[in-house]
Structure 1
Amino acid sequence: MWVERLKNTIADQTEITSDNDTVERLSKDAYWYSPILYKELNGMKADCAVFPKNEEEVRTVVAFAVKEKIPLTVRGSGTGNYGQSIPLNGGIIIDITQMNQTVKETSASVTVQAGKKLGTLEKELRKKEKELRIFPSTFMKSTVSGFLCGGSGGIGSIRWGNLWDNNVMYVKMMTIEEDPKILHIHGEEILLFIHTYGTTGILLEAELPVEDKMEWNQYLLTFPTFQEAVDCCQYLTEQGNMPLRLLSTCEWPLPQHYKPLISYIDEGSSIVIIESTIMKKTMEKIVESQKGNMSLFIPSEKYQKGLKLSDFTWNHSTLWAHKNGENMTYLQARFDKSKLHSQIDTIKEEYGDEVQLHFEFIKIDEEITPAALPVLQFRSKERIYDIIDFFEKHGIQINDPHTYLLGFGGYNMRMDEIKKKKKAYDPYDLLNPGKIPKTREVI
């Protein structure tokens, strides 16, 4: 069995395990957010997992895998939601979480190894009066490589956009060949290596831009109606002098699932969550003018300490609903800012509480845009795609979170160029195989 040969090859230098429980755990992500993906992917796992501590140990594993033609899947930590890191063909999991050092720091950037946790990095930077531009709501667990290869945006995206908006300055990659090469990627070419589910090379290091630390206050606002909550968000985005790091809103009944916040939220209320440098007195005046209520204020000195309101935004919203509701799943959508209320009304008239709306405001092409993560009561795969068709019919763009195929989710990805990189740097198709579709036909 090739696992024994791998153990003999690396046992003196690299930890390896074929323990069933460990390998199964490392072979999973949060694919269960989607009942469709759960049905398709449940039970799939690697044959063993290795835990390299440095680049040379990764190289040894890669060289062995290429010689034996064994599939490889690179694993960090966090919560990928589309089965991005689930091995479809067994093989070796490369867990890179021990490669977690900071390599270089400047006043404008930080270079770190792939396994560095973003929560740790952000904490270290803030002690030095710096901060990251963007990170996912799962930043306490997520590794740099997991975010760059499987994510897109998150906290800070309202200011800085998504990963591909000049928020990654450099990546160091390893190819999957008999003699693995090291690639140093800068500029626009980076786009062929990030958000590609780790299919075009193994990410070893990344350089990320940093900014001067800001003092972020957190606010939980409540409103009698969702329309008023959305209006407040739009008002805030139209004020050019209000630095925002996070702006999130959702309608009732979603907030009923947020157990740590429920005492601050009246039944039936829609909520807005904000991270901003706006001072409390100024925010109180804004909330009064918008006919809302400030239910909770967390001052900047307690930022990322104790209760974090970001734990109830982005796909944490889906997670809370999944924990405390029944058969809950979600979509990813982009509404038209100029038609926002009419699109909301159309969705609610058609589906009521079957579709519970949740918006994150992010910068796209220099314009702050309402991106949605609506939570759905799952009934069937057919029903999901009927809802998607309805959204698209009414001008709402959908990124489908119920597929593990790269490019099928709706992102505008340069798939032809990505496939060329894949062929050049992984000629035997060993790196996370099965995630790049052979054609554009819907499966």
Structure 2
Amino acid sequence: MESEQRKQAVALIQQALPSLEWTLQSAKVKRLSRDFHWFSPVLKRQLEDKQADAVVKPLNQEQLRQLVAACVEHKLPLILRGGATGNYGQLVPLEGGILVDMTGFNQVCELGDGTVRAQAGIRLADIEAQTRPSGWELRCMPSTYRLASLGGLYGGGFGGIGSINYGPLGAPGNVLGIKVMTMEAEPRVLTVPAPQALLLHHAYGSNGIVLEVELALAPAHRWIERLDVFDNFIDALDYANALARSPGLVKRQIALFAAPIPSYFSHLNGNYRASQHAVISVVAQESEGLGDGILATFNGEAAIRQTAEDAREANASLMEYCWNHTTLHALKIDNTLTYLQTAFDYSKYREQIISMAEYFGDEVISHIEFLRDNDGNITASGLQLVRYSSDDRLNEIMEIFRKNEVKINNPHVFQIEDGKQGVVRTEVVSVKNALDPNGLLNPGKLRGWEIRDQLEIDNDPLLLTER
């Protein structure tokens, strides 16, 4: 649909639904059509001129249903927006249309014994604020948990803090089910249990409108946040690895930062030397003594220690220096940097980390996160900082990692299959065909939709006719 046709369609929908909260000013619409894709110089160029035609903030399911039906009637694209903390242009409209601000859907629907069901637009920190008094916390969450929404984590996130125990969000048992609205002339609301619900996970909101997510929770602990420093990179790596592989040590987060990354943490400077490597850990109070012994074994020294209460009082959690928050802190100091996303082999990640660090030197700087994979193996993923010189060199670097058997989840592409998923998944396309038959949800992001005629589409991918 051409731009003028889209504008006419938006005008007609606004006239039909005047009670909705509309944003039409082009400058504000463009700002709201952005996430943190600018971490990638490639995506920054490719997505610079892309934006929605309007932004709408529905406040309840009925308003959303009316908007969806109107978009289908006018064949207008619809894109979902949560906290806008993603890094891959998930919410950036490629073909215009209406951007739906989901943050009005911000309620905890049900809090059970070890479970929570909440609306997609709620911030993750707000979920924990309600679960902690009853002794429960989120199993995993991104470093952007203060701003990130539950639906955004589900639609485009991975895992993050807590993944050292429970793996990524998509690991079996973490997600229990979802409620989803279809993109049809007469929208339906469906309840989809796991594991079928995971067919909408990390699909950028391209194959269904997630309204609610039900999660399993973890027992809450009193956490101690630490930043420990080392003069030798191998010592820092082995300390982090020892924490990760100590089954009796209760932890929530372990991250390794090669120098000069700690020097980019400007708010923390003065606690250590710029030349030192660092490990950030979040360890339960009852386990901290064991961690002290491990620290001494690997020639480390304590630089920062704070309780979770200290962090809240200072409004400065060390967790917000981990995962892709690290990249943000670094870019504030040096905007020529970019980053990678790598997944090491669980059986030899230590050797791979050392080998790649030695090979690239200062061109690719190690930032390593420790976690469990879907099968429960302790492993490591990298969010390495890269001194960007050209697209060709960036691609060469990624290819060198692949040749050394390190998987690349390419963060410099905007189509789902070219990044984390890696391949066209027929079952994911089948869900879009079932829930969004006109292909109006976030068009252009799911490459498999463009070749759906070549795939064996399942007409009942969510097994809903059997329930």
Question: TM class, shorter-chain normalised?
Answer: over 0.9
The share of aligned pairs that are identical, in percent, is: 35
Residues of 2 paired with 1:402 and 1:37: CA distance?
6
Which residue number in structure 1 is paired with residue 234 of structure 2?
227
Could you tell me which amino acid in structure 1 is paired with residue 303 of structure 2?
S
Residues of 2 paired with 1:107 and 1:302: CA distance?
28
Q: Which of 275, 292, 296 is the matching residue for 2:304?
A: 296
* Superimposed CA distance per residue, residues 368-422 of structure 1 (whole angstroms, 9 cap, x where no aligned partner): 1011110101111111110011011111111100011112114366711111111
Aligned CA distance change for structure 1 residues 333 and 439 (closer, same or farther; 3 Å): farther
Aligned CA distance change for structure 1 residues 114 and 342 (closer, same or farther; 3 Å): closer
Which residue number in structure 2 is paired with residue 417 of structure 1?
427
Which residue number in structure 1 is paired with residue 278 of structure 2?
271
Aligned CA distance change for structure 1 residues 112 and 32 (closer, same or farther; 3 Å): same
Residues of 2 paired with 1:152 and 1:399: CA distance?
11
Aligned CA distance change for structure 1 residues 29 and 326 (closer, same or farther; 3 Å): closer
Residues of 2 paired with 1:151 and 1:300: CA distance?
24
| Deviation (angstroms), 1:129 | 2.2
Residues of 2 paired with 1:167 and 1:279: CA distance?
24
Q: Which of 61, 64, 72 is the matching residue for 1:58?
A: 64
Tell me if structure 2 keeps the 8 A contact 1:217–1:279: no
Q: Which of 320, 331, 335 is the matching residue for 2:329?
A: 320
* Superimposed CA distance per residue, residues 216-243 of structure 1 (whole angstroms, 9 cap, x where no aligned partner): 1111100111111110011112211011
* Superimposed CA distance per residue, residues 130-187 of structure 1 (whole angstroms, 9 cap, x where no aligned partner): 2111111000000110110010111101111111112111111011111011111102
1:17-416 mapped onto 2 (5 Å cutoff): 17-165=23-171, 166-277=173-284, 278-306=286-314, 307-364=316-373, 365-411=375-421, 415-416=425-426
Could you tell me which amino acid in structure 2 is paired with residue 141 of structure 1?
L
Tell me if structure 2 keeps the 8 A contact 1:216–1:300: yes
Residues of 2 paired with 1:199 and 1:191: CA distance?
13
* Superimposed CA distance per residue, residues 54-77 of structure 1 (whole angstroms, 9 cap, x where no aligned partner): 111011001000000000001111
| Deviation (angstroms), 1:339 | 3.4
Could you tell me which amino acid in structure 2 is paired with residue 327 of structure 1?
T
Residues of 1 paired with 2:380 and 2:29: CA distance?
39
Tell me if structure 2 keeps the 8 A contact 1:216–1:303: no
Residues of 2 paired with 1:113 and 1:75: CA distance?
13
Aligned CA distance change for structure 1 residues 51 and 326 (closer, same or farther; 3 Å): closer
Aligned CA distance change for structure 1 residues 348 and 164 (closer, same or farther; 3 Å): closer
Aligned CA distance change for structure 1 residues 63 and 439 (closer, same or farther; 3 Å): closer
Q: Which of 7, 12, 18 is the matching residue for 2:14?
A: 7
Tell me if structure 2 keeps the 8 A contact 1:160–1:363: yes
Three-state SS of the structure 1 residue aligned to 2:417 is: coil
Residues of 1 paired with 2:255 and 2:341: CA distance?
14
Deviates more, 1:300-309 or 1:425-434: 300-309
Residues of 2 paired with 1:111 and 1:288: CA distance?
43
Could you tell me which amino acid in structure 2 is paired with residue 3 of structure 1?
V
Tell me if structure 1 keeps the 8 A contact 2:243–2:291: no
| Deviation (angstroms), 1:338 | 4.2
Three-state SS of the structure 2 residue aligned to 1:360 is: strand
Could you tell me which amino acid in structure 1 is paired with residue 194 of structure 2?
G
Structure 1 unaligned residues grouped into runs of 5+:
none
Could you tell me which amino acid in structure 2 is paired with residue 351 of structure 1?
F
Aligned residues: 439
| Deviation (angstroms), 1:335 | 1.9
| Deviation (angstroms), 1:304 | 4.2
Residues of 1 paired with 2:331 and 2:46: CA distance?
19
Could you tell me which amino acid in structure 2 is paired with residue 326 of structure 1?
N
Could you tell me which amino acid in structure 2 is paired with residue 47 of structure 1?
D
Tell me if structure 2 keeps the 8 A contact 1:82–1:401: yes
Could you tell me which amino acid in structure 2 is paired with residue 284 of structure 1?
D
Residues of 1 paired with 2:187 and 2:274: CA distance?
58
| Deviation (angstroms), 1:124 | 2.0
Tell me if structure 1 keeps the 8 A contact 2:165–2:252: yes
Tell me if structure 2 keeps the 8 A contact 1:78–1:138: no
| Deviation (angstroms), 1:340 | 3.6
Aligned CA distance change for structure 1 residues 201 and 341 (closer, same or farther; 3 Å): closer
Aligned CA distance change for structure 1 residues 321 and 303 (closer, same or farther; 3 Å): closer
Could you tell me which amino acid in structure 2 is paired with residue 392 of structure 1?
R
Aligned CA distance change for structure 1 residues 439 and 99 (closer, same or farther; 3 Å): same
Three-state SS of the structure 2 residue aligned to 1:302 is: helix
Tell me if structure 2 keeps the 8 A contact 1:217–1:303: no
Residues of 2 paired with 1:420 and 1:392: CA distance?
30
Could you tell me which amino acid in structure 1 is paired with residue 302 of structure 2?
M
Could you tell me which amino acid in structure 1 is paired with residue 439 of structure 2?
D
| Deviation (angstroms), 1:279 | 4.4
Tell me if structure 2 keeps the 8 A contact 1:333–1:398: yes
* Superimposed CA distance per residue, residues 39-68 of structure 1 (whole angstroms, 9 cap, x where no aligned partner): 100121000011100111011001000000
Aligned CA distance change for structure 1 residues 346 and 310 (closer, same or farther; 3 Å): same
Residues of 2 paired with 1:20 and 1:270: CA distance?
45
Deviates more, 1:341-350 or 1:427-436: 341-350
Q: CA RMSD in A?
A: 1.6
Three-state SS of the structure 2 residue aligned to 1:231 is: helix
TM-score, scaled to structure 1? 0.96
| Deviation (angstroms), 1:439 | 5.3
